[in-house]
Amino acid sequence: MMTGSSKAYDGKAIASLLVLLMAFSLMPISNVTAEDTGDLYHLQAQDIHVSFDSSTELTTITWRNIDSLEQPAALDNFYNADYHVYRHTEMINQSNIQNATLVHSVAVCDINDPALSASKYLCLGGGNGSHQGHSYSYLVDPGTNDSFYYGITTAITAQDGTVSTYDSLIANESSIYHPVTEITTPIRTPYNLMASFDPTTSTTSLSWVNYNDIFYVLPEEGPDAYQTRLWESTQPITRNSASTLFSSMSPIAQIATGVSSYQISIPEDTDREVYYAVTYLMPNYFGPGVDYEDIRLLSNNALATPLVEDNMPATPVSSVNSYFFSNTQTGSGTTTITWSDVSGEDGESYAIYSSGQSFNNTGQFGVEQIGQVGEGESEFGYQVPVGRLGTSHYCVVVIDSNGIFDEDIESYSCTSVYEDAFYNWTAEPTNVMATFIGDSQTLVTWNDN
């Protein structure tokens, strides 16, 4: 049985416990911080790690921002600081960094990133912040076989624009103590692929410089002789995409050793953008039965921009009309042909054909081209011959920017009009003049109508 005094004691204990719980709830929760090295005000890179991947020939460098809350004022420069990543054959320090190669620069904390811009504390690089760390992959040059060191400095820009660079380069924090070995395969591809399309012959011409024309290294005879392979794709052919693309297609041609050009006949009614690449298949390159094809595309052996192959005539014009206006003074007149400009074409022109009979082909007997106007024009005025009387037929043909047009003409691209140049025209001579020339002779001249 509980006594009165014990009840009072229990009540005091419960009250004290509630006060303690409330006090704890008001205290900030602190995460476990990552251990930082160096002067916090220098915002030095932390926990550097470097690795080389022989399959991609990429060296990847990762590191993080400082994570300490010990010096809050040191965090004020997060948004106006940059990291600079260097590469060297020697361990990088303050005395030789000027001889190192700058391979990458990045903001310490990007103020334009919505996930980081609200507070400088979000830029902390561990449990106290939200920054996910930094990573950069350096593409190692082909034919490399050496060991390299990497190091990271920090450059802080003050409000007055002055830049302070901090290059403590502490081993295994902002620079690596042990080098990474980088071994890459030399280039084994043709150089400088060129491509052009001739719409008049509907032919694409490819040309390149063979590797052996620069460095005579690759076998050209026997079972190990290289074979040139040509690739075609509607998608860009790059180092990143080549493996996937080539695995799902076959080369459009496999050419003998030493050849440096190739022509492709393009089918009629083609209108496309296409990418080409040229590579070498090298049998037994890594040993008997172990072939090799360099698909890194490092020697301009793939088109960076697509080649336009367009031999398809433009869409025919429509809404063609014609109007004749006679000139009673000359016995002639003007027929105006109008049409609707073709949309979706650039650099096109319009050829106007005429005949005394209806026609549907530009090569038909009695058909003549009477004019041509450029893009944006939608009418043409034709002065008919003196004394014209009868029906004339006119057709408008679109010529695209490559000079391609359809010889066959749609009926809606044509019009006809009755032309009566005799109407209200008196066919009398004009400018009659008489001049006495002597010896009982007078010269009379005039203009016929």
264-299 pLDDT, tens digit per residue, is: 999 988 999 999 999 999 999 999 999 999 999 999
Is the pLDDT score of 344 beyond 90? Answer: no
Give me the pLDDT at residue 426, please. 63
Identify the CATH class of 40-183.
mainly beta
Question: Is the separation of the CB atoms in 275 and 303 below 8 Å?
Answer: yes
Average pLDDT over residues 59-70: 95
Q: Is the pLDDT of residue 12 over 60?
A: no
Per CATH, 40-183 and 191-310 having the same topology is answered yes
Q: Which of 22, 125, 14 is nearest to 69 (CA)?
A: 125
127 vs 329, more confident: 127
Whether pLDDT at 181 is above 70: yes
pLDDT at 25: 38
Mean pLDDT of 176-199: 96
Q: Check whether 15 has a pLDDT greater than 90.
A: no
Confidence of residue 427 (pLDDT cuts 50, 70, 90): low
| 193 or 429, higher pLDDT | 193
Q: Is the pLDDT of residue 10 over 60?
A: no
- Per-chain mean pLDDT for the chain: 89
Greater confidence (47 vs 448) lies with 47
**pLDDT single digits (tens) 113-161:** 998 988 999 999 988 888 999 999 999 999 999 999 999 999 999 999 9
Is the pLDDT at 4 greater than 50, yes or no?
no
Which residue type, as a one-letter code, is found at position 133?
G
Higher pLDDT, 300 or 344: 300
- CATH fold of 318-420, please? Immunoglobulin-like (2.60.40)
Higher pLDDT, 446 or 107: 107
| Residue 402 pLDDT | 84
* pLDDT category of residue 3 using cuts at 50, 70 and 90: very low
Lowest-pLDDT range, 94-98, 237-241, 387-391? 387-391
Task: Provide, rounded to the nearest whole percent, the portion of the chain with pLDDT above 90.
Answer: 74
What was the pLDDT predicted at 432? 82
Query: What is the band of 31 on the pLDDT scale with cuts at 50, 70, 90?
Result: very low
pLDDT band at 6 (very low <50, low <70, confident <90, very high): very low
pLDDT at residue 394 is higher than 60: yes
CATH architecture assignment, domain 191-310: Sandwich (2.60)
- Map out the domains of the chain as residue ranges: 40-183, 191-310, 318-420
